[in-house]
Amino acid sequence: MTQPRYYFNDDNHKVNLDFANLGFDYYPCPYRFEAVYELGVWRARGVVEETSMTLPEGSQCLHYGQQLFEGMKVNTGADGKVYAFRPAENSRRMNDGARYLQGPEVPEDLFIRGVEEVTRANLPYVPPYGSGASLYVRPFYLGIGDNVGVKPASKYVFRIFVTPVGPYFKGGFGPDQGKSFRVSTLDRAAPFGTGHIKAGGNYACSFKPGAEAKEQGFAEAIYLDPKEHRYIEEIGAANFLAFKGETLITPDSHSVLPSITRRSLLRIAREIYSWPVEERLIDKAELDEIEAAAACGTAAVITWIREVADGEKTWTFPFDQRWQQLYDSLVGIQTAAIDDPFGWRHEIS
């Protein structure tokens, strides 16, 4: 295992990257974490340097999509410490996926140890507090082996890379940063398929609807429920939120990825602001009655929706101050700018 050693010429202890102007792009940091599963046992290789991986050509992840990934952010706090946000939730979601794809679970302590080790190894790449950037952490899980039949693998790789990132949607959050989205006629997931797990195949299926939306000048595609095309599901790689009167509403569906950001925002809404919250079917026709709408996720944080286009019909929404309140509370907790009443910050260093 490589022992990362950095030597600095100043007190900044950060690499010379323009953190404030990063996009949501891959920048190869020096170290990643890796573990392998064989004969029923996970073995941590620990922190490694190779950015490339060598896999057997028959690997299930390459042919049959036996693959999962996660996404979370690590931030430097106002107190100078480095924090991950609810990493145990990402571990649980990855294991929901592992069970579904008939692979072994990654023990939660291995997952968390990986997040901690890879972050510590790449500490000079963790964006400083106030830069608006974060270290994006990408755990992933691959079924590998010398195989050709359609069956689950017997060997697996669990790896985590990190990369410093800025906002997912250009411009980030703000009253003048509303985005336009287009309702897709295509689906990313089947009604009782794999929409609820973070399997790579779901994302390959979103490339065409996403590309069609972007070709027409929209930020992303909005998906409707795959059975009736009547209810709102989600938006690209983000969940849907809206205010109807006093109530914060969000879709309840098997084919939506259960967003950790959404779950956190619902709790903030309920317990910090005492706003009513409903998880239920949201008929597209209800857009007529909704006051404000937003997309939420690790990458998107909260991105408020200025416009929804569906064929010839368009709905427009204003910026709502309640998005600002939710954003300030969520990002405040993540960056230790405010107290963490829910115990969501996971201190790494």
Q: Which residues bind ligand PLP (CB under 6 A)?
A: 71, 234, 237-239, 257, 259-262, 297-298
Query: Which lies closer to ligand PLP via its Cβ, residue 123 or residue 219?
Result: 219
Q: b/e per residue, 184-204, with b = 16+ CB within 10 A? A: beebbbeeebbbbbbbbbbee
φ/ψ bin of 13: left (φ > 0), alpha (ψ from -120 to 50), beta (otherwise): left
Query: Which lies closer to ligand PLP via its Cβ, residue 121 or residue 137?
Result: 137
Least distance in angstroms from the C-beta of 334 to ligand PLP: 12
Kind of pairing, strands 277-280 and 247-251? Answer: parallel
Of 186, 201, 190, 188, the closest CA to residue 97 belongs to 201
Hey, is 218 helix, strand or coil?
A: coil
Query: Which lies closer to ligand PLP via its Cβ, residue 123 or residue 248?
Result: 248
Alpha-carbon gap, residue 43 to 46, rounded angstroms: 9
| Class of residue 249 by CB neighbours under 10 A (exposed 0-12, middle 13-18, buried 19+) | buried
Query: Which lies closer to ligand PLP via its Cβ, residue 193 or residue 297?
Result: 297
Is there a contact between 307 and 250 (Cβ–Cβ < 8 Å)?
A: no
Least distance in angstroms from the C-beta of 198 to ligand PLP: 6
Query: Which lies closer to ligand PLP via its Cβ, residue 29 or residue 295?
Result: 295
Of 193, 131, 119, the closest CA to residue 161 belongs to 119
Is there a contact between 86 and 344 (Cβ–Cβ < 8 Å)?
A: yes
Alpha-carbon gap, residue 77 to 127, rounded angstroms: 10
Least distance in angstroms from the C-beta of 89 to ligand PLP: 7
Alpha-carbon gap, residue 308 to 287, rounded angstroms: 9
Least distance in angstroms from the C-beta of 280 to ligand PLP: 18
Kind of pairing, strands 238-244 and 247-251? Answer: antiparallel
Alpha-carbon gap, residue 127 to 133, rounded angstroms: 6
Least distance in angstroms from the C-beta of 244 to ligand PLP: 21
Least distance in angstroms from the C-beta of 263 to ligand PLP: 8
Alpha-carbon gap, residue 282 to 112, rounded angstroms: 35
Query: Which lies closer to ligand PLP via its Cβ, residue 14 or residue 93?
Result: 93
Least distance in angstroms from the C-beta of 160 to ligand PLP: 15
Least distance in angstroms from the C-beta of 58 to ligand PLP: 28
Query: Which lies closer to ligand PLP via its Cβ, residue 87 or residue 143?
Result: 87
Least distance in angstroms from the C-beta of 264 to ligand PLP: 8
Query: Which lies closer to ligand PLP via its Cβ, residue 86 or residue 322?
Result: 86
Alpha-carbon gap, residue 160 to 33, rounded angstroms: 5
User: What separation in angstroms does the CA of 87 have from each of 91, 111, 116?
Assistant: 6, 8, 10
Query: Which lies closer to ligand PLP via its Cβ, residue 19 or residue 240?
Result: 240
